[in-house]
Amino acid sequence: MKLTEQEQRWLEDYCNETISADEFEKFQDAMEANAELRRAFRKYLSIDAGLRQGSESVQEIGLAWSSPEPGNVVALPGAWKWVAIAAAGVMGIFFATRPLPVTPVADASDKKVEPSAQGFGVLTGVDGAAWESHPELAQGDLLPAGEIRMTAGVAQLELFSGVTLVVEGDAAFEIHSSMEMSVVRGKIRANVPEPAHGFRIRSAEGEVVDLGTEFAVNITNGKSEVHVLDGEIEWYPNGAPNKKLMKKGEALRWTQDGALETLVAKAGSFVGMRELNERLNSGRSSRRNVWLDHSRRLARDERVVAYYPMSQPGQWHRELYNEARETEAATDGAIVAAKRAVDRFGHADGALDFSGTGSRVKVNVDEELSSLTLMAWVKIDSLDRWYNSLFLTDGHELNEPHWQIMDDGRLFFSVKRREADREKKLWDKHIVYSKPFWTPAMSGKWTHIATTYDTSTYTVTHYINGKQFHQEVLPENMQVDRVKIGAASIGNWSEPTRNDAKFSVRNLNGSMDEFAIFSAALSAVEIAELYESGKP
């Protein structure tokens, strides 16, 4: 495909990050409407792979690119999907490393790189764990590289070899592979299945090699202990010529000066998986009770237009009650195809899974709103659609909002300002994108998402897990004073404006267990309270 002069200018300005806000909207609209342009752009970018594999002149190519003086430019959101410079020899255009366009350029037939976990295990349970080395580490996260320091609490780690570790703080340790770790201090109980026999733990005093199936170490205050709780281990003390075979019920204690003492193994001295699971269940139950109290208060908030907690009667029941008590603006929801699923507190049938074809909850909100807050708890399995719906009005009429997630993990919010006129280059809305908040490593983790639109300042603010993530003021020509909703769908889109599957299929590949609409732009403090009161 031969690019027009305008298309070439868009690409050059885009790659230089000097494209204006107005021109950027025109560019993304052209990308959305023109499959040939998307394919051509994709083709030229693919040359990047060859340049990455050994060319040391990539930086020189980048320096050779002449960038005009910046003017009224727009900051381009999105993930850095290309890390080298690609060239289109036929066009004589060099594409510098930049985020992909706001409108994805891949066709439905394009193959995506299969995401893979980077690390040797997953943090699967936490009870009061405080992480000195990685403060943001949370249940469901991949275990980071390097030393991990936990100052308090208990954590369960599941390595990809099948080994399960229960760690008690104060602890410092490092996972070197799915079959090996080292411990500086702390209490660690290891359950080793048959396929992982040979798993080893190293310390300053020596090395423990598992022969099956459960053992524990306690390294603290200048002394170390190893307890064989089931099966056998081999103990290799540093500086000693021979290993020592230890069997179930045996234990050893040694000190830094080399003194050795024989003990009886005590399973009760170490937290095991069963005890930790009981603690976690108790904690989830307590957290759920906190949320239930908050949920009842939320239902009576006069600003709540629609409120759909999804922990309602079981599989046979295909209606989702609107729990908002102070208004009748929104109907009960009709569940279509979505199946009951486990909620964020571990309760069966407390959520809805929207991953099945056609899944949605149909609602109607018959009220105009001066400002708006949308809030949901979601568990995303993957972002395999171009657009992944959170809440979309049927079709897309004037003053109606759309709230969804792009396939690269960016949060999307817009309110339609006017009808588009492509011939006159008039666009219908301004889309407020966040930077990417979701990655494949978060698959299966519950996330709190909220977006506010304040018409007093025309400001849109995105929040993730109670924290402000992105804020933007709408351009003057795209500001909307009143928001209306009407017929809409949770988790999908009814009556799309185009028929091609890539554009119109938007059901969320994941679950949701709570959704609310407020007739006000909640403050950052209130959003944080929603998260804190509802987190599992």
Q: What is the chain's pLDDT, residue by residue, as a tens digit (536 residues)?
A: 677 877 777 776 665 557 776 677 677 767 766 766 666 555 544 443 333 333 333 333 333 333 333 334 444 443 333 333 333 333 333 333 334 333 333 333 344 444 444 679 999 999 999 999 999 898 888 999 999 999 999 999 999 999 999 999 999 999 999 999 999 999 999 999 999 999 999 998 889 999 988 999 999 877 889 999 999 999 998 877 788 899 999 999 987 777 788 999 999 999 999 999 999 888 888 899 999 999 999 999 999 999 999 987 656 678 899 999 888 889 999 999 999 999 999 888 899 999 988 899 999 999 899 999 999 999 999 998 888 999 999 877 898 999 999 999 999 999 999 876 767 667 788 999 999 999 888 888 999 999 999 999 999 999 999 999 999 999 999 999 999 999 999 999 876 454 544 444 678 999 999 999 999 999 999 999 999 999 98
Task: Give yes or no for a cis peptide into 213 (omega within 30° of 0).
Answer: yes
The burial of 449, by beta-carbon neighbours within 10 Å (0-12 exposed, 13-18 middle, 19 or more buried), is given as buried
pTM value? 0.67
Task: Give yes or no for a cis peptide into 513 (omega within 30° of 0).
Answer: no
> For 207, phi and psi rounded to 5 degrees?
-140, 135
Contact 157, 167 (CB under 8 A): yes
CA distance 210 to 191: 10
Handedness of CA 108, 111, 112, 116 (dihedral sign): positive
CA distance 454 to 483: 10
Give exposure, 343-360, as e/b (b: 16+ Cβ within 10 Å): bbbeeebbbbbbbeeebb
| Strand spans (E) along 314-386 | 319-320, 333-336, 339-341, 351-353, 360-365, 372-380
Contact 449, 463 (CB under 8 A): yes
Residues 6+ apart with CB under 8 A from 467: 528
CA distance 124 to 122: 6
Contact 218, 224 (CB under 8 A): yes
Domains (range + CATH), the chain: 5-95 (no CATH), 121-271 (2.60.120.1440), 288-534 (2.60.120.200)
CA distance 158 to 119: 11
pLDDT at residue 416 in the model: 93
pLDDT at residue 424 in the model: 66
> For 55, phi and psi rounded to 5 degrees?
-80, 125
pLDDT at residue 315 in the model: 60
Beta-carbon count within 10 A of 274 CB:
9
pLDDT at residue 204 in the model: 86
